[in-house]
Structure 1
Amino acid sequence: MVQLTATPASALVDEPVHIRATGLYPTQMVTLTASLKDEKGNLFQSRAFYRANEAGEVDLKQAPSLGGDYVGVHPMGLFWSLKPERPFMRLLKRDVMNSPFSVTLALHDLVCLHELDTDQPSASVVVQRWFLRHGTQRVQIREGRVRGALFLPPGEGPFPGIIDLFGGVGGLIEFRASLLAAHGFAVLALAYFAYEDLPELLMEVDLEYFEEAANLLLAHPKVQGPGIGVTSVSKGAEIGLAMACFLKQVVATVCINGPNAIFDFPLRYRDLVILPVPSFLEHVQTDVSGAMNFRNFRGDPQDKLNQQSVLPIEKAQGQILFIIGENDQSMKSREYATQALEQLKNHRRNNGRMLAYPGAGHLIEPPYSPLCYASRNKSTGSLIMLWGGDPAAHAAAQEHAWGEIQKFFRQHLIQTRSQL
């Protein structure tokens, strides 16, 4: 009898699943598929072709996929190769508290090159993928101007504190914060536009808002001082780097594919205003898929006229980790990180380092998340933004970077306290 098992059947989304099929004929060819529907009912699917061994088994820890959405030995390939049925959809978990993603894994007797909707699988199993560990507390934050959600791990604490910032998608995105909380951090998912009573559009970055959020987090009885961390991506990484430069509360900053200068909108902090590097719409290119490539959209921070827009990274007192996807099609993130590190070196500072991942795109997310190569972005209206990335290389980058991010924060947030 054909059996398909997936262990564990219920786990955090960043935990691997061991998939195994038994009861097949020796050397039998089969198709394994994965499918899930997001909270809006959008379908994501993947498939891979496998050959059973002489014992009639397929173990994804050892067996190579011979074709489909990926090739080679990839135990979690069915998860990270999920693709939207409708093009340009990004898989985003909105409600992290009440429901997991349910992924249906199925085994089909043949190599299925046609649509699988009408084909009855020989075996199937449902796997639950959670973004929240049992006992984690979510606290809605509406204090002063600050809007967000604070995730506190189970236990008395105090826990190292982190602010989590996303980019141009706006609103409140919680999945990374809730997942970091599962690993022992107190994390504030911070909204800064297009949420509740915050501005609908981002026209200016007011750094005092983020300073208020940092002070609020540090004042929480379950958050250990004396400093906090920031994890950030894209536009959020620009803000994260600015926080590292100007806010003494920030002692460890992760910038995922962000710039080293102010882009798009001015940044204001007390009496200081930093104007953005100019942008050039005529430099935007269209990919064969119809997505817009913004890599050359912004001017070069190194140009003499743009020097006043470059962030004074040499003022940062804490540690900075740049995480870079070398196939980022949204911005020249490797170039910007290199410039920032050179700036530190010129000021005899050594508090920054870069992890660069060949083949990874712009949206480096927690492990086993499907690559989003291009998607519609609220901040650009109906335009489709090209993010880039090769699926297998991007998946490897996400898995490695996630471990490095946690290691970085443990080293520089917990160590900071022990040195006092």
Structure 2
Amino acid sequence: MLQVTPADALIDVPRRIAAEGLAPGERVRIESRTVRGPGIAWTAQVELTADADGTVDLGRDAPLAGGSYEGVSPMGLVWAQVPEQPGAPREVFAAEPAAPLTTELVLTRADGSRWQAAFVQRLTGEGVTRREVRDNGLSATLFLPPGPGPHPAVMVLNGSGGGINEPRAALYASHGYAALAVGYFKSPGRPDHISDTHLEYFETALQWIHAQLRPAGGFVALSGQSRGGELVLLLATLMPEMVSAVIGYVPGAVVHSAQNACNPANGPDSRNGPAWWWRGQPLPHLWEHNRTATWAPWDEGPEPRRHANALLTALQDAEAVERARIRVERIRGPVMLLSATDDGSWPSSLYGRMVVERLAAHGHPWPVEHLDFEGAGHSIVFPFVPTTQLAYAHPVSGRLSTSGGTPAANAHADEASWAGVRDFLQQAASAAKAKP
């Protein structure tokens, strides 16, 4: 018998994958298969040896050499999956972003007989609702927990790939938060590029959350990834009265230019142009009047290229860094930062330390947490999704890049970061609710 427990649960719930009834010392193979993105099958496999009782347990047993991962990992058959088709899109969710994922398992015995099992990973818990929001020019999707509320709220922002981050918003809602995933480019009704994004758009989104959702305790957190991580820190400095807490996944500590998500119609220097505008003016950014910045390490470096190497040249100009620095001391609430020491996209570990040091220097009176994951890369998501696709073609520029890290380190960062974020949000929302 091959069993998965629980067989149907939220995606962040670890499973016990085990088999019993084998011969003592029998060598078996277990394979996983999940259809993701536009109908692409992702697979992983390990071989194990049954113990004296004729059982194998992925939470106890390390696989034999040559499998998809090494060491004991209860969910290794998920995070170690790779697409069957070389060069396939690296989208790890379903074609409908918040839809459940079904993973099929096959155990093959020494005699050739096969045992089968399956489990379901859900992004939306029971009673969670989804609706598209197009009010006031917004391009967003709202996920609401069951029950009348009011609920604490989270606004979710994507990075330089654009689009609407429905999976993360759905999972936030499944844990009790009203979650509005907001698209600001490459989403319905919005531009195709990050260039010249006017931050008043997010002011409208925050006003909508406060007015329409009336969050419990007035609590509205911002959660953003990569460029979205830069953005949530920036928005909390410009609109502090509407932001209760900030969660920055691999964020920037400075305002960046449009970079690889730029609009090429803006000319040959479009990646050096502004990404963000506020009150009719472009915000100063790192590449502006920078005396040391050069794209050469990126343009001329070996593939897959590390975008971080170009940004490190720009960070050598202290005056340019100070002009572009996000004034995080203006934030009026707790801050959580998730970063990685082998981030290939930009130096998020350094950026995280810069933010922490700035807040400490200004005596920030709210909690500040920084989880910096050793050996991990830029793609920190949440638990139990594949982490193997380290090289990719950027979704806007098309350049072959690496996000850095290793599959195992990235899987650890996914799991530990989400546990930290859940605790952080719970404490921050509870503190807001307790205010008189």
When normalised by structure 2's length, the TM-score is 0.88
* Structure with greater helix percent: 2
SS in 2 for 1:253: strand
Q: Does the CA contact (< 8 Å) of 1:234 and 1:257 recur in 2?
A: yes
Q: Distance in 2 between matches of 1:366 and 1:281?
A: 31
Q: Does the CA contact (< 8 Å) of 2:35 and 2:94 recur in 1?
A: no
Q: Does the CA contact (< 8 Å) of 2:390 and 2:404 recur in 1?
A: yes
Cα–Cα, structure 1 residues 258 and 411, in superposed 2: closer, same or farther, change >3 Å?
same
Q: Does the CA contact (< 8 Å) of 2:40 and 2:88 recur in 1?
A: no
Q: Distance in 2 between matches of 1:55 and 1:143?
A: 61
Of 307-316 and 79-88, deviating more is 79-88
Cα–Cα, structure 1 residues 344 and 53, in superposed 2: closer, same or farther, change >3 Å?
same
RMSD of the TM alignment (CA)?
2.0
* Structure with greater strand percent: 1
Deviation at 1:400, TM superposition (A): 1.4
Alignment of 1:74-93 (within 5 A): 74-85=73-84, 86-87=86-87, 89-90=89-90, 91-93=92-94
Question: Which residue of the other structure, out of 390, 402, 410, is the alignment partner of 1:394?
Answer: 410
Q: Does the CA contact (< 8 Å) of 1:277 and 1:301 recur in 2?
A: no
SS in 2 for 1:396: helix
Deviation at 1:350, TM superposition (A): 5.0
* Counterpart amino acid of residue 427 in structure 2: Q
- Partner residue of 2:171? 179
Deviation at 1:306, TM superposition (A): 3.5
Q: Does residue 295 in structure 1 map to residue 308 in structure 2?
A: yes
| Cα distance per residue 1:167-225 (max 9 Å; x no partner) | 11112220010011111010001100011111111112321111111111111246224
- Partner residue of 1:105? 105
Alignment of 1:275-294 (within 5 A): 275-278=284-287, 280-284=294-298, 290-294=303-307
SS in 2 for 1:30: strand
Q: Distance in 2 between matches of 1:121 and 1:314?
A: 63
* Counterpart amino acid of residue 394 in structure 2: N
SS in 1 for 2:139: strand
Q: Does residue 322 in structure 1 map to residue 337 in structure 2?
A: yes
Q: Distance in 2 between matches of 1:312 and 1:65?
A: 49
Question: Which residue of the other structure, out of 92, 108, 121, is the alignment partner of 1:129?
Answer: 121
Q: Does the CA contact (< 8 Å) of 1:261 and 1:301 recur in 2?
A: no
Deviation at 1:53, TM superposition (A): 0.5
Q: Distance in 2 between matches of 1:207 and 1:96?
A: 26
Question: Which residue of the other structure, out of 245, 257, 260, is the alignment partner of 1:264?
Answer: 257
Cα–Cα, structure 1 residues 19 and 316, in superposed 2: closer, same or farther, change >3 Å?
same
Q: Distance in 2 between matches of 1:77 and 1:323?
A: 22
Structure 1 runs (4+) deviating above 3 angstroms are 285-288
Q: Distance in 1 between matches of 2:79 and 2:198?
A: 36
| Cα distance per residue 1:135-157 (max 9 Å; x no partner) | 11112100112111010000011
Q: Distance in 2 between matches of 1:7 and 1:287?
A: 46
Of 49-58 and 273-282, deviating more is 273-282
Deviation at 1:291, TM superposition (A): 1.9
| Cα distance per residue 1:97-117 (max 9 Å; x no partner) | 5x421111111225xxxxxxx
Q: Does the CA contact (< 8 Å) of 1:218 and 1:225 recur in 2?
A: no
| Cα distance per residue 1:383-408 (max 9 Å; x no partner) | 12211122222212211111111111
Cα–Cα, structure 1 residues 121 and 374, in superposed 2: closer, same or farther, change >3 Å?
farther
Q: Does residue 141 in structure 1 map to residue 157 in structure 2?
A: no
Which stretches in structure 1 are left out of the alignment for 5+ residues?
A: 111-118
Count of residue pairs the alignment pairs up:
407
Cα–Cα, structure 1 residues 103 and 272, in superposed 2: closer, same or farther, change >3 Å?
same
Alignment of 1:136-215 (within 5 A): 136-215=128-207
SS in 2 for 1:169: coil
Of 4-13 and 50-59, deviating more is 4-13
Question: Which residue of the other structure, out of 340, 355, 371, is the alignment partner of 2:371?
Answer: 355
Q: Distance in 1 between matches of 2:281 and 2:165?
A: 29
Deviation at 1:325, TM superposition (A): 1.5
* Counterpart amino acid of residue 359 in structure 1: G
Q: Does residue 410 in structure 1 map to residue 402 in structure 2?
A: no
When normalised by structure 1's length, the TM-score is 0.92
SS in 2 for 1:379: coil
- Partner residue of 2:401? 385
Deviation at 1:281, TM superposition (A): 2.2
SS in 2 for 1:292: coil
Q: Distance in 2 between matches of 1:390 and 1:23?
A: 35
Deviation at 1:271, TM superposition (A): 5.0
- Partner residue of 2:242? 249
SS in 1 for 2:216: strand
Q: Does the CA contact (< 8 Å) of 2:29 and 2:48 recur in 1?
A: yes
Q: Does the CA contact (< 8 Å) of 1:360 and 1:394 recur in 2?
A: yes
* Counterpart amino acid of residue 92 in structure 1: F
SS in 1 for 2:396: helix
Cα–Cα, structure 1 residues 189 and 301, in superposed 2: closer, same or farther, change >3 Å?
farther
| Cα distance per residue 1:73-97 (max 9 Å; x no partner) | 1111111111122246321344245
Q: Distance in 2 between matches of 1:14 and 1:72?
A: 21
* Counterpart amino acid of residue 376 in structure 1: A
Q: Distance in 2 between matches of 1:207 and 1:93?
A: 31
SS in 1 for 2:342: coil
SS in 2 for 1:375: strand
Cα–Cα, structure 1 residues 50 and 339, in superposed 2: closer, same or farther, change >3 Å?
same
Alignment of 1:27-66 (within 5 A): 27-66=25-64
- Partner residue of 2:270? none
